[in-house]
Amino acid sequence: MAQHTVTLIPGDGIGLETSAAMQRVVEAAGADIVWEVAEAGAACAEKTGTPLPDETIEAVKRNKVAIKGPCTTPVGTGFRSVNVALRKTLDLYVCLRPVLSMPGAGGRYDDVDLVIVRENSEDLYAGVEFEEGSGAASKLIKFCEDEGAGVIRPDSGISIKPISITATQNIVRYAFEYALKHGRKKVTAAHKANIMKYSDGLFLRTAREVAKEYEGRVEFDDRIIDAFCMNMVIDPAQFDVVVFPNLYGDIASDLAAGLVGGLGIAPGANIGKDYAVFEAVHGSAPDIAGQNKANPTAEIMSAAMMLDHLGEAEAAERIGARLVPGALFSSDTFYDESNPNATLQKLGVLAVEMEAAALYLNAARAGKQALALCTISDNPFTGEGLSAKERQESFREMMEIALEIAL
Residue length of the chain: 407
Q: How far is CA 336 from CA 332, 340, 381, in A?
A: 7, 8, 15
Find the catalytic residue in 125, 174, 248, 275: 125
Decide: residue 23, CB within 10 A, 0-12 exposed, 13-18 middle, 19+ buried: buried
Find the catalytic residue in 174, 222, 250, 275: 250
> Which helix H or strand E contains 181, and what residues bound it?
helix 165-181
Concatenating the DSSP letter of every residue in 322-365 gives PP---EEEES-GGG-TT-THHHHHHTTEEEEESSHHHHHHHHHH
> Which helix H or strand E contains 114, and what residues bound it?
strand 113-119
192 among known catalytic residues: yes
Check if the beta carbon of residue 84 is closer than 8 Å to that of residue 51.
no
Find the catalytic residue in 32, 226, 274, 378: 226
Give the closest residue to 116 by CA, choosing from 207, 21, 242, 20: 242
User: Kind of pairing, strands 65-68 and 3-9?
Assistant: parallel
Distance CA 376, CA 159 (A): 56
Check if the beta carbon of residue 25 is closer than 8 Å to that of residue 319.
yes
86 backbone dihedrals φ, ψ, rounded to 5° = -60, -45
125 among known catalytic residues: yes
For the chain, the farthest-separated pair of C-alpha atoms sits apart, in whole angstroms, at 85
Q: How far is CA 97 from CA 115, 130, 184, 271, in A?
A: 6, 31, 15, 11
Find the catalytic residue in 93, 123, 192, 275: 192
Distance CA 180, CA 174 (A): 10
Answer positive or negative: Cα dihedral of 396, 404, 4, 282.
positive
Distance CA 90, CA 54 (A): 12
Alpha helical stretches, state H, 41-102: 42-48, 54-63, 82-90
Distance CA 57, CA 143 (A): 38
Residues known to be catalytic: 125, 192, 226, 250
